[in-house]
């Protein structure tokens, strides 16, 4: 285990250097969610009835998930680029833990997405977002977002390992980015037509968004937090097992 951790740390440093040399990727990741937030709050927000409270408070959890979905697309692209450059074959010839190569990309994604989320949160505060959440609720929100990031990133790893082109590797994130729009992220699901409402209420994004929104508001989350955690953990497990299986076959 110490061998895996030390190798992953070295490879993480390599991946982070790539990110720091291209800071525009983090900025670009945050720009689209911020633009969506500005548009919905200042253009559509007045026409959307979500009950009491500020609309930016209502839709921020959905924007956070869109930020993560945008960010993990770069992970898929960087992984695909490494595969095509032959660097994986060079790593294979070295006495390093094979899993460390993928985990370095995953942890780089986690760090980059946390930075993007901080930027989005800062803009939301300037737009009037306020929360009555206590420390434990904030920690719970952070934990859910980290778990969702890991789950989405391992899906990105799958895309990076199986894509035929760099564009294809990054394009997998489009469905992830679109999913919050068919959920409770921007409007109550009760306003949707029957079939769309049924899908929106039972897809993973809705439970995650509702849980984060309740935590920010200092309200009781009930059993929704367990549903959200189960979705995140389940997706993470399936994506991790699938990615590791494909990775072992590709480098064997």
182-192: pLDDT as tens digits: 999 998 998 89
b/e for 199-227, b at 16 or more Cβ within 10 A? ebeebbbbbbbbbbbbbbbeeebeebbeb
Instruction: Show the CA angle centred on residue 59, arms to residues 66 and 124, nearest 5°.
Output: 85
Share of the chain above pLDDT 70, in %: 83
114-170: pLDDT as tens digits: 988 999 999 999 999 999 889 999 999 999 999 999 999 999 999 888 888 877 777
pTM exceeds 0.85, yes or no:
yes
Distance CA 217, CA 133 (A): 6
Q: Where are the domains of the chain?
A: 2-251
Task: Give the contacts of 6 (CB within 8 A, at least 6 positions apart).
Answer: none
Predicted confidence band of residue 204 (pLDDT cuts 50, 70, 90): very high
Tokens of 138: 């904030």
Query: 60-64, 187-191, 210-214: which range is least confident on average?
Result: 187-191
Selection from 74, 132, 104 nearest residue 9 by Cα:
104
State the pLDDT at residue 45: 75
Checking phi first, is residue 86 left (phi over 0); if not, alpha (psi -120 to 50) or beta? left
Distance CA 223, CA 127 (A): 31
Half-sphere exposure of 95 (CA within 13 A, CB side): 1
Indicate whether 215 pLDDT > 80: yes
- For the chain, give the number of residues: 252
Task: Give the contacts of 130 (CB within 8 A, at least 6 positions apart).
Answer: 54, 57
Indicate whether 3 pLDDT > 60: no
85-130: pLDDT as tens digits: 766 666 666 656 666 778 888 888 888 899 889 999 999 999 999 9
Distance CA 196, CA 17 (A): 43
Predicted confidence band of residue 30 (pLDDT cuts 50, 70, 90): confident
Indicate whether 41 pLDDT > 80: yes
Q: Evaluate whether 73 touches 172 at the Cβ level (below 8 Å).
A: yes
Q: Evaluate whether 152 touches 176 at the Cβ level (below 8 Å).
A: yes
State the pLDDT at residue 229: 95
3-state SS assignment for residue 46: helix
Mean pLDDT estimate for the chain: 84
State the pLDDT at residue 28: 72
């Amino acid at each position: 285990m110490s061998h895996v951790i030390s190798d992953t740390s070295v490879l993480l440093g390599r991946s982070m250097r790539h990110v720091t040399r291209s800071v525009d990727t983090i900025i670009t990741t945050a720009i689209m969610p911020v633009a969506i937030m500005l548009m919905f709050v200042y253009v559509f927000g007045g026409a959307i009835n979500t009950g009491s409270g500020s609309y930016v408070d209502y839709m921020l959890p959905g924007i956070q998930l869109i930020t993560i979905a945008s960010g993990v697309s770069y992970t898929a692209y960087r992984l695909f680029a490494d595969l095509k450059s032959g660097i994986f074959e060079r790593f294979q010839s070295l006495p390093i833990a094979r899993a460390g190569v993928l985990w370095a990309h995953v942890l780089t994604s986690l760090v980059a997405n946390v930075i993007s989320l901080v930027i989005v949160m800062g803009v939301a505060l300037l737009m009037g977002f306020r929360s009555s959440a206590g420390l434990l609720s904030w920690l719970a929100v952070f934990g859910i977002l980290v778990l969702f990031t890991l789950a989405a990133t391992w899906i990105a790893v799958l895309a990076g390992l199986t894509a035929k082109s760099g564009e294809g590797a990054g394009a997998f994130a489009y469905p992830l980015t679109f999913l919050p729009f068919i959920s409770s992220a921007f409007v109550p699901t009760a306003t949707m037509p029957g079939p769309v409402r049924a899908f929106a209420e039972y897809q993973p994004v809705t439970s995650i968004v509702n849980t984060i929104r309740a935590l920010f508001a200092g309200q009781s989350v009930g059993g929704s937090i367990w549903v959200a955690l189960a979705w995140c953990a389940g997706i993470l497990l399936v994506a991790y097992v699938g990615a590791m299986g494909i990775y072992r076959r590709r480098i064997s």
